[in-house]
Amino acid sequence: MHQIHRTVNRITTCSIKIGSTSQLVASQPPYLEPRREGRYTDTSRQHIAIRQQPQPKQTEAMGKEFGSMEEFWGFYLGQHSKPATRRWHFAGTLASLVCALLAAATGRAALLVACPVLGYGLAWYSHFFVEGNRPATFGHPVWSFLCDYRMFALILTGRIDAELARLRIHPPRPRIASD
């Protein structure tokens, strides 16, 4: 059996020669073919494979109601269990405070626009790429803002480790790669 494949304008033609007869077969790429009942095209298989990949941890706070600020505080610190996440938050909060002070000192109100970009940008980076979760800001923006400054003050005064120990929050263990 001999096959020759050729693609022209997104249509693949295949000339199959069996013995002395040859047959020309044309087909569209899988993503252009209509779906058949119970069958998947290559792109739908890829879509399913992507959806089955492990997703970052979602915060439980999105639909949860907290009875008090202290109850939310425990959840908030749990979402910042890795030291690197807290460092990124500290850097973002410090940068936004410095930016706000510069805006007040120079009278340039345009600098105020950079405050949330710096603060939230660095913090959100840490959630998505370091901690692997979604920021609690999405579910509880006011409490998250207040807790961020509380965490900032604890880091600044060196009391964050005592607070984490009090709430029994420990960073996750590093994963050991298996052969």
pLDDT at residue 45 in the model: 52
Report the domain count for the chain: 2
Average pLDDT over residues 13-17: 54
Q: Quick check: is 86 in a domain?
A: yes
User: Is residue 18 helix, strand or coil?
Assistant: strand
Looking at the structure, tell me whether residues 65 and 27 fall in a common domain.
Answer: no
Domain assignment of residue 4, given as a range = 1-31
pLDDT at residue 62 in the model: 52
- Name the amino acid, one letter, at 50: I
pLDDT at residue 55 in the model: 41
Looking at the structure, tell me whether residues 79 and 158 fall in a common domain.
Answer: yes
Average pLDDT over residues 123-151: 93
Residue among 145, 80, 154 nearest 119 (CA): 145
Cα–Cα separations (whole angstroms), residue 61 to 8, 58, 72, 127:
53, 9, 9, 14
Q: Quick check: is 14 in a domain?
A: yes
Q: Quick check: is 177 in a domain?
A: no
Phi, psi of 65, rounded to the nearest 5 degrees: -100, 135
Q: Quick check: is 1 in a domain?
A: yes
Q: Quick check: is 46 in a domain?
A: no
Angle between helix 141-157 and 83-106 (nearest 10): 100
Termini Cα distance of the chain: 43
Range with the largest mean pLDDT of 14-18, 88-92, 167-171: 88-92
Looking at the structure, tell me whether residues 147 and 104 fall in a common domain.
Answer: yes
Looking at the structure, tell me whether residues 130 and 71 fall in a common domain.
Answer: yes
Q: In sequence order, which residues have a C-beta less than 8 Å from that of residue 150 and are 6 or more positions away? A: 73
Looking at the structure, tell me whether residues 96 and 27 fall in a common domain.
Answer: no
Contact present, 133 and 124 (Cβ < 8 Å): no
pLDDT at 25 over 60: no
Range with the largest mean pLDDT of 98-102, 131-135, 137-141, 167-171: 98-102
Q: Could you read off the pLDDT of 27-83 as tens digits, one per residue?
A: 555 555 555 555 555 555 554 444 444 443 444 445 577 889 999 999 999 999 999
Q: Could you read off the pLDDT of 73-130 as tens digits, one per residue?
A: 999 999 999 999 999 999 999 999 999 999 999 999 999 999 999 999 999 999 999 9
Average pLDDT over residues 130-138: 90
